[in-house]
Copies of this chain bind each other. A is one copy, B any other.
Amino acid sequence: MSKEITSRAQDYSQWYNDLVIKGELADYSAVRGCMVIKPYGFALWENMRDVLDKMFKDTGHVNAYFPLFVPKSLFEAEEKNAEGFAKECAVVTHYRLKTDPDNKGKLIVDPEAKLEEELVVRPTSEAIIWNTYKTWIQSYRDLPILVNQWANVVRWEMRTRLFLRTAEFLWQEGHTAHATKEEALEESEKMLHVYADFVENYMALPVIKGVKTASERFAGAEDTYCIEALMQDGKALQAGTSHFLGQNFAKAFEVKFSDKENKLDYVWATSWGVSTRLIGALIMAHSDDEGLILPPKIAPLQVVIVPIYKGIEQKASIDKKVNDIITALKAKNIRVKYDDTENSRPGWKFAEYEKKGVPVRLAIGARDLENNVIEVARRDTKEKGSYSLDNITETIENLLTEIHQNMFKKAMTFRDEHITKVDTWDEFVKTLDEKTGFISAHWDGTAETEDKIKELTKATIRCIPLNNIQESGNCVLTGNPSTQRVLFARAY
Q: Give A contacts to B, CB under 8 Å.
A: 27, 29-31, 34-39, 41-43, 45-46, 62-72, 74-76, 79, 82-83, 86-99, 105-107, 109, 118-121, 128, 131-132, 135, 141, 147, 151-152, 154, 156, 168, 170, 343
Q: Are A67 and B107 in contact (CB under 8 A)?
A: no
Once the chains are docked, how many angstroms separate the CA of A62 from the CA of B27?
A: 17
Closest partner residue, chain B, to A67 (CB atom): B34
Q: Are B97 and A131 in contact (CB under 8 A)?
A: no
Q: How far is the CB of A16 from chain B (nearest CB, A)?
A: 20
**Known A68-B152, A86-B96, A152-B152; contact A39-B63, beta-carbon cutoff 8 A:** yes
Q: Are B95 and A92 in contact (CB under 8 A)?
A: no
Known: A43-B62, A141-B343. 20 other contacts (CB 8 A): A30-B67, A30-B74, A30-B132, A31-B67, A31-B71, A36-B64, A36-B66, A39-B147, A42-B64, A69-B90, A72-B97, A75-B97, A86-B96, A86-B97, A89-B97, A91-B92, A91-B94, A91-B96, A92-B92, A152-B152
Tell me which residues across on chain B come within 8 A of A68, comparing CB atoms.
34, 121, 152, 154, 168
Q: Are A90 and B95 in contact (CB under 8 A)?
A: yes
Count copies of this chain in the complex: 2
Closest partner residue, chain B, to A300 (CB atom): B62
Interface of A is mostly: mixed
Q: Are B128 and A107 in contact (CB under 8 A)?
A: no
Q: How far is the CB of A91 from chain B (nearest CB, A)?
A: 4
Could you name 30 residue pairs across A and B whose Cβ atoms are closer than 8 Å?
Answer: A27-B135, A29-B66, A29-B67, A29-B128, A30-B71, A30-B128, A30-B132, A31-B67, A34-B67, A34-B69, A39-B64, A41-B64, A42-B62, A43-B62, A45-B65, A67-B168, A68-B152, A72-B97, A75-B97, A86-B107, A89-B96, A89-B97, A90-B94, A91-B96, A92-B92, A93-B93, A96-B156, A121-B121, A141-B343, A152-B152
Tell me which residues across on chain B come within 8 A of A42, comparing CB atoms.
62-65
Q: How far is the CB of A71 from chain B (nearest CB, A)?
A: 6
Other-chain contact of A119, B31, B37, B96, B151 (Cβ < 8 Å): B31
Q: Are B92 and A64 in contact (CB under 8 A)?
A: no
